[in-house]
Every structure is written in structure tokens, then in C-alpha cells.
Amino acid sequence: MNPTSTPQEPSFRDSVDLMFERAAALMDLPQGLREKIRICNATYTVRFGVRLRGEIHTFTGYRSVHSEHREPVKGGIRFAPAVDQDEVEALAALMTYKCALVEVPFGGSKGGLAIDPRQWDEDELERITRRFAYELIKRDLINPSQNVPAPDMGTGEREMAWIADQYRRMHTTDINADACVTGKPRSRGGISGRVEATGRGVQYSTQCFFREARDVEEAGLSQGLGGKRVVIQGLGNVGYHAAKFLSEEDGCRIVGIGERDGAIFREDGFSIEEVRAHLIETGGVKGFPGAAYVENGALALEADCDILIPAALEGVVTHANADKVKARLIVEAANGPLTAAADDMLRKKGVAIIPDMYANAGGVTVSYFEWVKNLSHIRFGRMQRRREEANSAMLIKSLEQMTGQAFPAELTERFLSGSSEIDLVRSGLDDTMRGAYGDMRELWRRREDVPDLRTAAYMIAIGRVADSYASLGI
């Protein structure tokens, strides 16, 4: 057991292991193979110094490789003060299972740098990031064919651009250098829709749940996503996009938002753009006009709502507060927001949980598209878009000639436009999320001993990794 675990409250890493074991117990796997799949293959720890503000500062970073049953391995790099080996290993394990579940052909990895990015200016952060990247690149822990990072908490397009540039400087003749990292800006080899991808995937996963009348009814919710009252924790990349799309496109009402400095509530719902602007300007949610405010941001988790979306960090719903959660559906946008103890308690209460390894898989799915784009050196849609438009125009003309009637003007533009990169990315992501929900649900509904979507997700992922090992002869 991890030293930070208690019998009542397992650590993040132990929670992932417990959830794995619960699923594996329902499968017919040899013990040795089960153990091979569960354990983390390797974790590299690096300590490096950077001269800043007139003195040398030492930083500690990690890159864990959980499973190399497929390569490259994939997983974000987070910048956060409390990052440690256990956290990175738990996150790397989740990446293995996530990629397997959504059929993205990668193994699992994760990286972290113990740093509070808000304490450094942009130039300093660039020097620190490049130095960290240098340490990982020279050991092939960043490499287009072996290990491909992406953004996570505290990192984004900017950091990925620095990492890609650092790789290019160290591998000047690698024609596939752009594919060494995903989540890059569009102008530097990125793909349209990657920034929004994880939040977009959270939206699609929630839509999938609401398409299944029985799942909705058993959770004790009324049918239809429109009008549902949603509380979100963390309005960063993932939380902001999820809340924006659910409120602007699906008609949800965001009635509560928890952030570092407190939580705000408003029964008639927030404009996410306005709250985000306030957050960027003031650094918090406090003082947002027309909202009730409490200083303890964690109270958002206990607020009255239909859907709770924890989108900040792990281990926020524990045995201590799980009983106070009022939501009937939890969509795990963050990785590991529920401890194994909380997960048990909520399942017994009949709360539906869309598990992290599925709900936030939109990021790695679109990262996969970006990696393929980088390797193929061509933007999606470039060859076929105008051809599609010409075909549609011909079809319209033929219909008009055959019927003697004009094609409805309001439909013409939509019908005519060929697929752009963003259309294809969203279509591929939607298809992935629908496919994976269908796979999880089929197993969950078919086998009475599979208690929930999470267990089903783990079983599918473990089964696919096991098949891969079998074909490798292990």
C-alpha cells in the first residue's frame, strides 16, 4: 500500500490499482499477465538546475512509462507543485487503459514537473521547460516513435511549442520532428480542435449517456440533457470547454463553479465566457457579479445539481464528502477525481458515474489525429474538400433539374460545404466517444456481475492490452 493511503482512504495510485483489481477479478486472466498489465514499467526522475533571478534553482521532473504494449507511449506533461512519482505513475496507468478503451494505438505514459507555473514569468518558464525537455529528449523519453507528450494541468500549446522546438534543435534531420509532441499551436503543426478536445469529449460522453433512456432513468434523472443543472469544479482548459459546450449547445444550466479561491453559484446559470473573462482578469471567481460566493471552493462538489463535473484535480471526492454529493450523475473530466472509497459509496447510492478514462479521452483521441497529421505531412480535408463541394453542387443541380424546383436556400450553404479539418476532427472524436460508450455499456448491461461503467471500461481496456501482449508472445 502506498504510504499516503489509509485503510479508509486509498491514495490516487492505490485507487487506480483497486479499480483495476476489481475489474480484473471478473476476468479470466493468468495472475502473471494480470500483474504485468497493472505494474508501471519504468519511471525516470530528473533533477536539473536552471540559473534564474541570479541563482541556481533545482527542479524535479518525472516521466513514467506504464505500458509499451504499443508504441509510441502517450501521455501529458503536467506542471503542478505537488507532482510526485506516485501521481505520475497513476496517471500513466490511466493513459494505458484510456488509449486501449478508445482504440488509440498508443501505450501509456505521463510526465510531471514539480513547479507552480504562476510563480515564474514567461521567459523563465520557457527556459525551465526547454531544460526539462532536453533531459527527456536525450533519453528518448520524448520521441515521435517512442514517447509523445501532450498538455495537461498547468501546460498548454505554448509549452508544447517549446518542447517541439527543443526536439527539432536536437534532431535537425528528423523529418517527423513535429510528431514528437501533440497539442501544439495550429501554426506549429498542431491540429484544429485540439485545445477544445478534452472538453468536447466530456460533452460528447455526456450526450452518449443521455441517449440511453434506461441509463438516465436508473440514475434518477429526467430524460434529455437540455435544462439540466450542472456544477463544475475547475474552469481551466477542460472545465471551461466542457461547461461552454454543454451550456451553449446542449442547453444545460451551469449553476455552480468551484475554483481555487472559492465557489460561485447562480440558479439561472452562468455565462461561461463571462466567468472565464473574470477568472483571467482577477485570478479567481470571487467577486463575480450577481453570484453567491463561498470561500471553500470544495463546497461546489456538494451543491444541489443534476450533473457534477469535477475538472480540476484528483482525489477531490473522498469517503469524507461522498455522502454529501447531491448530483445523480458525475462526469469525471479530471483524472481520478473520486477515490476508490468514494466510488464505492456513490455506486451504492445509485449515482451514475461516467469514468475518467472514458470521459476525458477526447484529448488523447485528437492528439492521435494530430500525430497522424504530422506523420502524413498533410492537413485533413486538403485533398477532398473541394471535390466534395463540387459533387454536392452537381447533386443540387440534378435535383433541381429533375424536380423543376429550387433547392431550399437555407440548406444550400450547409449542404454545399465540404469537410474542413475541424469538421473531420469533431466527427472522428464523436465517433470515438460513441463507439467506446457502446462498448462499455454493452458489457455492463450484458453481465450482471459488472456493476458499473467504470468496471466495464477497465475490463475492456485490460482485455485489449492482454490481447496485445499475447500477440507479442508475452
Q: Which of 189, 234, 256, 381 binds ligand NAD (CB under 6 A)?
A: 234
Residue tagged active-site, from 74, 98, 110, 244? 110
Neighbours of 176 (CB within 10 A): 14
Instruction: Note whether 47 and 56 are within 8 A (CB).
Output: no
Q: What is the rounded distance in angstroms from the CA atom of residue 353 to the CA atom of residue 458?
A: 14
Pairing relationship of beta strands 55-67 and 42-52 according to DSSP bridges: antiparallel
Question: Which of these segments, 122-130, 169-177, 232-240, 317-325, binds ligand NAD (CB under 6 A)?
Answer: 232-240
Q: What is the rounded distance in angstroms from the CA atom of residue 350 to the CA atom of residue 328?
A: 8
Question: Which of these segments, 6-14, 38-46, 328-336, 371-379, binds ligand NAD (CB under 6 A)?
Answer: 328-336
Q: What is the rounded distance in angstroms from the CA atom of residue 201 to the CA atom of residue 331?
A: 11
String marking each residue 243-282 x if it binds ligand NAD according to CB under 6 A: ---------------xxx----------------------
String marking each residue 293-312 x if it binds ligand NAD according to CB under 6 A: ----x-------------xx
Helix (H) or strand (E) holding 137: helix 122-137
Q: What is the rounded distance in angstroms from the CA atom of residue 264 to the CA atom of residue 294?
A: 7
CA 355, distance to chain mean position in Å, is 11
Strands of 103-176 (E only): list them: 107-114, 147-148
String marking each residue 149-168 x if it binds ligand NAD according to CB under 6 A: --xxxx--------------
Smallest distance from the beta carbon of 395 to ligand NAD, in angstroms?
39
Q: Is residue 124 classed as helix, strand or coil in its secondary structure?
A: helix
User: Closer to ligand NAD at the Cβ: 134 or 198?
Assistant: 198
Q: Count residues contacting ligand NAD (CB under 6 A)? A: 24
Q: What is the rounded distance in angstroms from the CA atom of residue 308 to the CA atom of residue 332?
A: 8
Q: What is the rounded distance in angstroms from the CA atom of residue 5 to the CA atom of residue 11?
A: 5
Q: What is the rounded distance in angstroms from the CA atom of residue 436 to the CA atom of residue 361?
A: 10
Rounded (10°) CA dihedral 88, 190, 188, 105: 60
Smallest distance from the beta carbon of 198 to ligand NAD, in angstroms?
4
> If you count DSSP H runs as helices and E runs as strands, how many of each does the chain have, helices first?
16, 13
User: Closer to ligand NAD at the Cβ: 50 or 298?
Assistant: 298
Smallest distance from the beta carbon of 237 to ligand NAD, in angstroms?
4
Among residue numbers 352 through 411, which ones bind ligand NAD (CB under 6 A)? Answer: 360, 363
Q: What is the rounded distance in angstroms from the CA atom of residue 73 to the CA atom of residue 95?
A: 9
Helix (H) or strand (E) holding 257: strand 253-259
Smallest distance from the beta carbon of 470 to ligand NAD, in angstroms?
29
DSSP secondary structure code for residue 297 in this structure:
G
Smallest distance from the beta carbon of 17 to ligand NAD, in angstroms?
18
User: Closer to ligand NAD at the Cβ: 230 or 238?
Assistant: 238
DSSP secondary structure code for residue 377 in this structure:
T
Binding of residue 144 to ligand NAD (CB under 6 A) = no
Helix (H) or strand (E) holding 386: helix 385-403
Among residue numbers 335 through 354, which ones bind ligand NAD (CB under 6 A)? Answer: 335
Question: Which of these segments, 237-245, 340-348, 384-392, 439-447, binds ligand NAD (CB under 6 A)?
Answer: 237-245
User: Closer to ligand NAD at the Cβ: 260 or 387?
Assistant: 260
110 is catalytic: yes
Binding of residue 233 to ligand NAD (CB under 6 A) = yes
Question: Which of these segments, 13-21, 206-214, 332-340, 464-472, binds ligand NAD (CB under 6 A)?
Answer: 332-340
Q: What is the rounded distance in angstroms from the CA atom of residue 389 to the CA atom of residue 458?
A: 42
Residue sitting closest to ligand NAD (CB): 236
Binding of residue 432 to ligand NAD (CB under 6 A) = no
Q: Which of 137, 161, 305, 313 binds ligand NAD (CB under 6 A)?
A: 313
Strands of 279-351 (E only): list them: 292-294, 307-310, 329-331
Smallest distance from the beta carbon of 230 to ligand NAD, in angstroms?
15
Smallest distance from the beta carbon of 242 to ligand NAD, in angstroms?
9
DSSP secondary structure code for residue 406 in this structure:
P
Smallest distance from the beta carbon of 92 to ligand NAD, in angstroms?
12
String marking each residue 188-217 x if it binds ligand NAD according to CB under 6 A: ----------x-------------------
> Which sequence positions are flagged as catalytic?
110
Chain residues in the site for ligand NAD (CB under 6 A): 151-154, 198, 233-239, 258-260, 297, 311-313, 333-335, 360, 363
